[in-house]
C-alpha cells in the first residue's frame, strides 16, 4: 500500500528562488528548513496547525495571498 505524501511544492519566481538559494548557502541552512521556519513564524506554531484563537480561514487566505501553493 502506498504511503500518503507528506511533502508539498511551493512555486517561486526565478529571482526569488536564486536569492533564497544564495541566502541559504551563505548561512548554511537548507532551503526547506528556511521556508518551513519562516512560514511557521508567519502563521504561528502549534504543531503545524493554526491555533484556535486565530481564524483559520483568514490565516489561510493571507498565506495564499503571499505564497503560491
pLDDT per residue over 39-57, tens digit each?
Answer: 888 888 754 444 444 555 6
pTM listed for this prediction: 0.55
**Distance (Å) of CA 12 to CA 17, 21, 24, 46, 59:** 6, 11, 15, 26, 20
CA 49-53-59 angle, to 5 degrees, is 55
Mean pLDDT, rounded, for 49-67: 57
Residues 50 and 44: beta-carbon distance below 8 Å: yes
Amino acid at each position: 500500500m502506498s504511503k500518503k505524501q507528506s511533502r508539498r511544492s511551493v512555486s517561486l519566481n526565478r529571482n526569488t528562488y536564486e536569492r533564497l538559494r544564495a541566502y541559504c548557502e551563505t548561512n548554511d541552512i537548507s532551503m526547506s528548513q528556511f521556508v518551513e521556519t519562516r512560514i511557521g513564524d508567519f502563521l504561528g506554531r502549534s504543531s503545524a496547525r493554526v491555533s484556535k484563537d486565530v481564524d483559520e480561514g483568514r490565516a489561510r487566505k493571507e498565506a495564499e495571498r503571499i505564497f503560491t501553493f
